[in-house]
Amino acid sequence: MGKQRHLLLLFLITFSTLPGIVKAQFIPREKQATTTTPQYDRFYVESSLGLQIGSITNIEVAPSVGYAIFPHFYAGIGFSYIYFRNSYYTPAYQAHIVGGSLYMRYQLFERFLLQGEYQLLNYDYLDIFTGEKKRTTTPGYLLGAGYRQWFDERLYGDIFLLWNLNDKDPYPFSNPIVRITFGGFF
C-alpha cells in the first residue's frame, strides 16, 4: 500500500506542474514549412505514461526517440515497460510486459497525424488449458490517427487512436488502443 501511495504522489507532483509550463499556442503549418531548422532541431523525444491502481494495477512507461525526415514525415523507435497485476486471481496474477517499436508518422493537416507502427511485446500469460504461466513474444501491427496540440514552439501533446491489425496472435491489449504522449523537439 505504501508503494502505491508513493507512485500516486509522484504522479500528482509530475502532472500538477504541467499547467504552469503549458501555454496553448499553435504554430501554423505554413510557418513550420517556411522556416529552415538546423539538423539537431529535427530530433524529438516523447513519452507515454500510464497509471492504474486498485484491484487491477497497470503501470506503463514508454519513451521514444524520433527524427523528422521531411517537414511533415517522422520516424521513431520506442521502448515499452508495463507492470500488470490482477488481484482477482488467487494468488494474484502479475506480468512484466517489455517491448519495442518502430513507427512512421505523417502530419496530414495542421494538427492531424497518421501513424503506422510495428510493436514487439514479450510477456507472461496464463495458459487456460494447463494453468501454467508461459512467456511469449507477439508482434503488433498498429495503424491509426492522432491529434496534436502544441504547447509552445517545441513542446506538444498527442492523442492517438490505434488499431492492431494482427488478430491471429494473442496480444495483451484489445482494440482500439488509446495512447496519449507528451514530447518535444530539441
User: How many helices (H) does the chain have, and how many strands (E)?
Assistant: 3, 8
3-state secondary structure of 108: coil
Q: Judge whether residue 117 has pLDDT over 90.
A: yes
Q: In the structure, what pLDDT confidence band is assigned to residue 130 with cuts at 50, 70 and 90?
A: confident
| Res 127: pLDDT | 79
Q: Report which of 125, 78, 77 is spatially closest to residue 97, judged by C-alpha positions.
A: 125
CA atoms of 126 and 24, how far apart (whole Å): 45
Cis-peptide, bond into residue 71, ω within 30° of zero? no
Bridge-based pairing of strands 43-52 and 133-150 is unpaired
Please report, for the chain, the start and end positions of each structural domain, with discontinuous segments joined by +: 43-185
Alpha-carbon separation of residue 21 from 17, 26, 123, 128, 141 (angstroms): 7, 15, 36, 48, 35
43-185 CATH fold: Porin (2.40.160)
Q: Which three cell numbers stand for residue 137?
A: 513474444
Q: Return the pLDDT at 2.
A: 54
- 166, pLDDT greater than 60: yes
Quick: pLDDT tens for 16-39: 444 443 333 444 555 554 455 455
pLDDT band at 86 (very low <50, low <70, confident <90, very high): confident
- Distance from C-alpha of 156 to C-alpha of 29, rounded to nearest angstrom: 14
